[in-house]
């Protein structure tokens, strides 16, 4: 009997040893370097307004807050992947305006977060300051409860409720800024693909272990939250953000903005085809394409600087057409090019309602948002139809309301009804 117990104990020990060997094989002993690919789980993404004066004090010179001042809080777990292991974490960031940001529109400045090892060290080395911590998640019916903890206690608590809407496919390509452990301000891209569940953000509060930075960004208004059971995420390698590059980037941003005002989708591409900047019209056209998800256009078929490039789309749709235009070296970096993007299936003539709204001093982009929301769509629904971010639709609506002299959506609906009747 004792021999049988010894055999059983030996078998259990062998199983434990084999599991440890398998784990050490999966978690590479060599320190990995970006890009990192990971499956995030039970991910909550919260948007809220903050005090602009307090938020502005947290930004480095050369970056500017959006109007209104907006912050994002993310809480999640890491699943399987390369470079980032099975831990949990979260971070807080401020949304910065593209005018002074290296991104084409909005970028996020990472103020730091909390995460388990070894991911914490890797985030510090490459992206932004992270302290040791973990997360807690539980779901009760439609109610979602997320908590972010440090070694000292509760940092943040979020309560969201799933809306009665079917989940939607989501793909995004966002630029993040942050100080790595050497004090270098760097920029990197995070691309995400997932199924998005819209939520109502019911509560967001910072706990007793929250830092002064977190407390300075206490919400003044809760906007929305999104929940993703699983999110495939790619963290690009960081690139130093050179302060002397800011004037050049701002000039390119002004060029893209001017083209956007003419309703032209435009990008700035690196020599390898990486998307460095893009305007809102380009964001809308590239939504759902592989190029948009990867942040890269395949230039293999471009025989010359002026040769058109086809950008494939799914669903049996005709490809988009990309026309490359050389840029002066005083305006752009070596080999960078302007790319004008067009959809051969798009109706060349705007709807009569959009044309009428442009006569009321609205830009084409503002007119499209006004027409969509004026038809009765909620801002979230209008964003999905137009291929824009909900935050972009809401900020555009504020400009539309000011120009048209209305104060809320119901008044806009009545105004458009009178225009159609007239």
**Residues comprising the chain, all counted:** 422
User: Do 44 and 144 touch, CB atoms closer than 8 A?
Assistant: yes
pTM higher than 0.75, yes or no?
no
Helices within 127-245 (DSSP H only): 212-216
Whole-number pLDDT of residue 84: 60
Q: Can you give the pLDDT at residue 48?
A: 97
> What fold characterizes domain 243-342?
Beta-Lactamase (3.30.450)
In sequence order, what are the beta bridge partners of 14?
A: none
CATH class, 352-421 region? mainly alpha
How many whole angstroms from its chain centre is CA 102? 14
pLDDT of residue 200: 95
Reading the block at residue 130, the tokens are: 């992270």
Judged on CB neighbours under 10 Å (0-12, 13-18, 19+), 94 is: buried
Give start-end residues of each CATH 3.30.450.20 domain in the chain. 243-342
How would CATH label the architecture of 32-240?
Beta Barrel (2.40)
Instruction: Write out the H or E segment, with its range, that includes residue 34.
Output: none
Domain with CATH 1.10.10.10 in the chain: 352-421
- Reduced 3-state DSSP string for 320-383: EEEEEEECCCCCCCCCCEEEEEECCCCCCCCCHHHHHHHHCCCCHHHHHHHHHHHCCCCHHHHH
By DSSP bridging, strand 107-115 and strand 130-140 are parallel
Distance CA(409)–CA(40), nearest Å, equals 36
Residue 24: predicted pLDDT:
43
Please list the residue range(s) of the chain that carry CATH number 2.40.400.10.
32-240
Please give the structure tokens belonging to residue 38: 């990971």
- Structure token pair of residue 408: 């809320």
Residues 395-409: b if buried by 16+ CB within 10 A, e if exposed = bbbeebbeebebeeb
pLDDT at residue 393 in the model: 86
Instruction: Read off the DSSP letter of residue 90.
Output: E
Consecutive 10-residue averages of pLDDT for the chain (422 residues): 52 55 44 83 96 91 85 89 73 78 66 87 87 94 96 95 90 84 82 91 95 93 94 87 53 76 81 80 75 74 61 69 77 79 62 78 84 86 75 87 87 82 62
């Amino acid at each position: 009997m004792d021999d049988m117990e010894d055999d059983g104990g030996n078998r259990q020990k062998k199983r434990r040893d084999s599991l440890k060997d398998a784990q050490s094989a999966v978690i590479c002993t060599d320190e990995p370097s970006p890009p990192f690919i990971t499956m995030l789980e039970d991910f909550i993404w919260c948007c809220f307004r903050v005090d602009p004066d307090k938020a502005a004090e947290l930004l480095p010179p050369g970056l500017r807050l959006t109007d209104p001042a907006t912050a994002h809080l993310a809480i999640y777990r890491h699943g399987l992947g390369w470079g980032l292991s099975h831990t949990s974490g979260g971070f807080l960031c401020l949304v910065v305006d593209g005018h002074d940001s290296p991104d084409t529109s909005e970028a996020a400045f990472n103020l730091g977060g909390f995460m388990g090892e070894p991911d914490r060290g890797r985030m510090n080395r490459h992206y932004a300051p992270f302290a040791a911590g973990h997360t807690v998640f539980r779901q009760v019916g439609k109610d979602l409860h997320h908590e972010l903890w440090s070694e000292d206690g509760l940092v943040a608590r979020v309560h969201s409720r799933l809306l009665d809407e079917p989940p939607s496919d989501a793909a995004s390509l966002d630029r993040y800024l942050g100080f790595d452990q050497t004090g270098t301000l760097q920029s990197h891209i995070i691309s995400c693909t997932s199924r998005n569940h819209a939520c109502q953000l019911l509560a967001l509060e910072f706990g007793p272990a929250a830092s002064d930075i977190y407390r300075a960004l206490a919400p003044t208004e809760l906007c929305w939250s999104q929940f993703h059971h699983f999110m495939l995420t790619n963290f690009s390698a960081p690139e130093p953000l050179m302060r002397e590059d800011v004037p050049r980037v701002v000039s390119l941003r002004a060029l893209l903005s001017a083209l956007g005002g003419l309703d032209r989708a435009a990008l700035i591409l690196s020599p390898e085809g990486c998307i460095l900047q893009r305007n809102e019209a380009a964001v809308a056209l590239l939504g759902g394409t592989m190029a948009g998800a990867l942040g890269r256009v395949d230039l293999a078929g471009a025989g010359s600087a002026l040769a058109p490039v086809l950008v494939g789309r799914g669903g049996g749709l005709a490809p988009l057409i990309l026309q490359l235009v050389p840029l002066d070296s005083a305006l752009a970096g070596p080999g960078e090019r302007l790319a004008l993007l067009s959809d051969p299936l798009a109706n060349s003539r705007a709807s009569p309602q959009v044309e009428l709204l442009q006569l009321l001093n609205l830009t084409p982009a503002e007119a499209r948002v006004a027409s969509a929301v004026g038809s009765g769509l909620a801002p979230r629904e209008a964003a999905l139809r137009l291929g824009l971010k909900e935050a972009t639709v809401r900020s555009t609506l504020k400009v539309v309301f000011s120009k048209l002299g209305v104060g809320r959506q119901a008044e806009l609906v009545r105004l458009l009804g009178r225009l159609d009747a007239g």
